Protein backbone atom coordinates (compact mmCIF):
# COMPACT_ATOMS: atom_id res chain seq x y z
CA UNK A 1 0.00 0.00 0.00
CA UNK A 2 0.83 3.70 0.18
CA UNK A 3 1.02 4.41 -3.54
CA UNK A 4 1.30 8.01 -4.65
CA UNK A 5 0.72 8.92 -8.28
CA UNK A 6 1.92 12.12 -9.88
CA UNK A 7 0.84 13.42 -13.26
CA UNK A 8 2.19 14.38 -15.70
CA UNK A 9 5.61 12.72 -15.56
CA UNK A 10 7.13 15.39 -17.72
CA UNK A 11 6.00 18.54 -19.45
CA UNK A 12 7.60 20.95 -21.86
CA UNK A 13 5.92 24.25 -22.49
CA UNK A 14 6.50 27.81 -23.57
CA UNK A 15 7.40 30.62 -21.23
CA UNK A 16 4.32 32.33 -19.82
CA UNK A 17 2.23 29.17 -19.70
CA UNK A 18 0.64 27.94 -16.50
CA UNK A 19 1.22 24.29 -15.69
CA UNK A 20 -0.78 22.12 -13.32
CA UNK A 21 0.69 19.05 -11.63
CA UNK A 22 -1.50 16.53 -9.85
CA UNK A 23 -0.59 14.39 -6.88
CA UNK A 24 -2.90 11.55 -5.88
CA UNK A 25 -2.80 9.04 -3.08
CA UNK A 26 -4.20 5.92 -4.72
CA UNK A 27 -4.81 3.54 -1.87
CA UNK A 28 -5.01 5.73 1.20
CA UNK A 29 -6.36 9.03 2.39
CA UNK A 30 -3.68 11.64 2.82
CA UNK A 31 -4.34 14.25 5.46
CA UNK A 32 -1.16 16.03 4.49
CA UNK A 33 0.67 16.38 1.21
CA UNK A 34 3.99 18.03 0.57
CA UNK A 35 5.51 19.61 -2.53
CA UNK A 36 9.24 19.57 -3.15
CA UNK A 37 11.51 20.92 -5.83
CA UNK A 38 14.77 19.32 -6.87
CA UNK A 39 17.41 20.84 -9.12
CA UNK A 40 19.78 18.49 -10.98
CA UNK A 41 22.12 16.65 -8.65
CA UNK A 42 20.81 18.52 -5.66
CA UNK A 43 18.67 17.69 -2.68
CA UNK A 44 14.94 18.07 -2.32
CA UNK A 45 13.77 21.42 -1.05
CA UNK A 46 10.37 21.64 0.58
CA UNK A 47 8.16 24.21 -1.08
CA UNK A 48 4.95 23.89 0.86
CA UNK A 49 2.86 21.73 3.14
CA UNK A 50 -0.73 21.16 2.18
CA UNK A 51 -3.49 20.01 4.51
CA UNK A 52 -6.82 18.96 3.11
CA UNK A 53 -9.38 21.73 3.20
CA UNK A 54 -7.05 24.48 4.33
CA UNK A 55 -4.53 26.86 2.83
CA UNK A 56 -1.07 25.56 2.15
CA UNK A 57 1.85 26.62 4.31
CA UNK A 58 4.70 27.86 2.17
CA UNK A 59 8.38 27.77 3.03
CA UNK A 60 10.32 30.97 3.22
CA UNK A 61 11.26 32.25 -0.19
CA UNK A 62 8.54 30.35 -2.08
CA UNK A 63 6.09 32.65 -3.82
CA UNK A 64 2.57 31.51 -3.03
CA UNK A 65 1.11 33.46 -5.95
CA UNK A 66 3.57 31.78 -8.27
CA UNK A 67 3.06 28.26 -7.00
CA UNK A 68 -0.63 27.74 -6.32
CA UNK A 69 -1.48 24.70 -4.24
CA UNK A 70 -4.93 23.24 -3.86
CA UNK A 71 -5.72 20.26 -1.63
CA UNK A 72 -9.43 19.83 -2.23
CA UNK A 73 -9.77 16.23 -1.16
CA UNK A 74 -8.01 13.61 0.94
CA UNK A 75 -6.60 11.98 -2.18
CA UNK A 76 -5.69 14.90 -4.42
CA UNK A 77 -3.42 17.91 -4.26
CA UNK A 78 -2.46 20.09 -7.21
CA UNK A 79 0.44 22.44 -7.80
CA UNK A 80 0.01 25.09 -10.46
CA UNK A 81 3.07 26.94 -11.66
CA UNK A 82 1.64 30.19 -12.95
CA UNK A 83 3.21 32.10 -15.82
CA UNK A 84 6.14 29.73 -15.86
CA UNK A 85 9.59 30.94 -16.91
CA UNK A 86 12.77 29.04 -17.74
CA UNK A 87 14.05 29.43 -14.18
CA UNK A 88 11.03 27.40 -13.02
CA UNK A 89 12.36 24.40 -14.90
CA UNK A 90 12.99 21.71 -12.33
CA UNK A 91 11.93 18.34 -10.99
CA UNK A 92 8.83 18.70 -8.83
CA UNK A 93 7.92 15.85 -6.52
CA UNK A 94 5.04 15.44 -4.12
CA UNK A 95 4.60 13.26 -1.11
CA UNK A 96 1.63 12.17 0.94
CA UNK A 97 1.22 11.00 4.47
CA UNK A 98 -1.62 8.94 5.93
CA UNK A 99 -1.43 10.57 9.31
CA UNK A 100 0.84 12.39 11.71
CA UNK A 101 2.59 9.18 12.76
CA UNK A 102 3.28 7.92 9.27
CA UNK A 103 6.22 8.38 6.92
CA UNK A 104 5.88 10.35 3.70
CA UNK A 105 5.46 8.38 0.50
CA UNK A 106 6.58 10.04 -2.68
CA UNK A 107 5.20 10.30 -6.17
CA UNK A 108 7.31 9.64 -9.24
CA UNK A 109 7.96 13.32 -9.82
CA UNK A 110 7.32 15.70 -12.70
CA UNK A 111 10.09 17.05 -14.90
CA UNK A 112 9.12 20.54 -15.97
CA UNK A 113 10.98 22.25 -18.79
CA UNK A 114 10.08 25.79 -19.74
CA UNK A 115 11.36 26.98 -23.09
Pairing of strands 76-81, 10-13: unpaired
How many helical (H) and strand (E) elements, i.e. helices and strands, does the chain have?
0, 11
Rounded to a whole number of angstroms, the minimum distance from the CB of residue 106 to another protein is 4
Q: What's the sign of the alpha-carbon dihedral 44, 101, 64, 24?
A: positive
Rounded to a whole number of angstroms, the minimum distance from the CB of residue 64 to another protein is 17
Question: Residue 113: beta bridge partners?
Answer: 12
Give dist(CA 64, CA 3) in Å, integer.
27
Total of residues contacting another protein (CB under 8 A): 26
* Using rule CB under 8 A, residue 103 touches another protein: yes
* Using rule CB under 8 A, residue 105 touches another protein: yes
SS3 for 62? Answer: coil
> Which residues from 24-83 bind another protein, rule CB under 8 A?
32, 34, 41-46, 49
Rounded to a whole number of angstroms, the minimum distance from the CB of residue 95 to another protein is 8
Rounded to a whole number of angstroms, the minimum distance from the CB of residue 16 to another protein is 26
**Footprint of another protein (CB under 8 A):** 2, 32, 34, 41-46, 49, 91, 93, 95, 97, 99-109, 111
Amino acid sequence: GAVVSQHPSWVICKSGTSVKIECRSLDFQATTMFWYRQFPKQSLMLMATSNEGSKATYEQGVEKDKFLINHASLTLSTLTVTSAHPEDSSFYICSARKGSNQPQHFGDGTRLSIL
